[in-house]
Structure formats: structure tokens, C-alpha cells
Amino acid sequence: MATAPPQPGSPQQANRILPFGALGSYLLVGGIFCVLLTLAFAWLAKGVFADRFVALDDGIITWLHGYWGAPIDQIMLFFTTIGEVWVLGPLIAVAAYALLRGGRWIDAAGLVLAAGGAGLLNLLLKDLFERTRPDLFSGPLHLTTYSFPSGHAMGSIAAYGMLAFVGARLTHNQLARVVIILIAALLVLCIGLSRVYFGVHYPTDVLGGYLAGAIWLAISIAVVLVVEQRAERRQQGIRDAELV
């Protein structure tokens, strides 16, 4: 059997072979990531409205209800509060303003895109699916809006996720980057847990919010990276023209 000749290049050179260099690799991985999450969201939504997860949803809410009490209630109320629009909105506005003042206008725009876009997309998805909220127990929160996917879960992963992305880019300390990402992940997880704890969302609502929010976060990050590279190339072109 004849031996096939080796192909040109190597995996280590992929960043230079793909369009946009290293950015092309990020976009390729991000695209695959978004496709997989979209398929997962579609599978989850189909199962939700086929009543496949009723026992699981109700069982988890009932289990968490057994832990209701003043100390845990206050902790969960804190986490559910930092996922509210009236908290995330000013937080993103202040962070975006600080970035603008520091010359990081693309990162600032990315923050607004991630948080604002996630909010609008969540409203569209809720109106599309029209899932009623759980009504197993009477708790401190009384909501009448639709339930799937969770706005808190979706908004928190998009907003805090983009804040973590920007924060990690602004530090050169590897440990600091890991800490920033872990704190953001913990906040997002606790915010989602608080919604199930208070019985205002099914666990599948929160999972759906995480999936949809992660998709939008990935898209927002991709937009930031593409715009940044195009801006760098344009600036480099202007500098080259001035030298001619």
C-alpha cells in the first residue's frame, strides 16, 4: 500500500493558516460551541414542552423547599437581587463608562451588547414559549411573567460572563484571571440556584437560560474580537500610509 505524502503545514501552524490568524481559530471553536449549545437548547425546549422533566423539576423544587429558613433565605435573596435588571443595568453602565474613559471603547460596547442583547432575546424567547411559572409553594417572590428560559440565568451569564472576559483581558496575572472567572461562574450558578430555591423557576428554566445566555455571550465575545482586529488593521493601515 502506497504511503500518502504528508500534507503541508502542521497543527501548530493552524493559527497562521486559518483566515484571520489566531482569531480564526477562536471563531471556529466558538462557532462549534454555539451550534452544540443551540442543539442542546432545542432538545431541552422540546423535552420541557413534552412534559419529560416534570418529575425532575418538581422534585428539585420540593427538595430545596425543605431548606427554607431565615438564614438561607437572606443569602438566596442576595443572589437573586444581584441578578435583577435594576442591578445589572447600572453595573454594566458604570463598567462601560469606566472602560470608555480608559480608551477601551470596544470592550465597553461588548458589555452593552452582551447584557442588553441577552435581555431582549430573553423577552422574545419567553413570549415564544409562554411557559407558566411553577406554583408549588407560596414564597416571598410573586411573579406573573413567563418562565422559560430564566431571565436571571440568561442575563447573569451574559453580563457577568462578559465582565469576567473583559476583566481577564485587562490583567496579565494568570492567578487573577482564574479568580475573576471563578467568581463570575460562582455568581452565575448561585443566581440560578436562588431562582429555583424560591420556586419562581423550574430547574429546566434556569438550564435553558444558561444555554441561551452562553450562546449570546459567545456571539458577543466574537463580535468584540472581530471589531478589535479590524480596528487594529485599519489603524495599522493609517500608520503605514503616513510613512509613505
Cα dist from 168 to 101, 171, 187, 195, whole Å: 18, 6, 16, 28
Q: What is the pTM of this model?
A: 0.86
Residue-wise DSSP of 35-63: HHHHHHHHHHHHHHTTTSSHHHHHHHHHH
What single-letter DSSP state applies at residue 222?
H
pLDDT (tens digit per residue) in 9-42: 444 444 454 455 566 677 788 788 899 999 999 9
C-alpha cell at 42: 432545542
The residue to which cell 435553558 is assigned: 208
Q: What's the whole-number average pLDDT of the chain?
A: 87
Position 172 confidence tier, pLDDT thresholds 50, 70, 90: confident
In which domain, by residue range, is 31 found?
Answer: 25-243
Per-residue model confidence (pLDDT) at position 79: 96
The verdict on residue 19 lying in a domain is no
The verdict on residue 16 lying in a domain is no
Q: Is the pLDDT of residue 1 over 80?
A: no
Q: How far apart are CA 202 and CA 115, in angstroms?
A: 23
Per-residue model confidence (pLDDT) at position 241: 63
The verdict on residue 135 lying in a domain is yes
Residue 90 or residue 227, greater confidence: 90
Backbone angles phi, psi at 81, to 5 degrees: -70, -40
Number of domains in the chain: 1
Q: Is 79 in contact with 191 (CB distance < 8 Å)?
A: yes
- Mean pLDDT over residues 71-97, rounded? 95
The verdict on residue 234 lying in a domain is yes
Per-residue model confidence (pLDDT) at position 89: 94
Cα dist from 84 to 32, 64, 87, 152, whole Å: 30, 21, 5, 7
Q: How far apart are CA 55 and CA 58, in angstroms?
A: 5
The verdict on residue 236 lying in a domain is yes
- Mean pLDDT over residues 96-112, rounded? 93
Residue-wise DSSP of 204-216: HHHHHHHHHHHHH
C-alpha cell at 166: 473583559
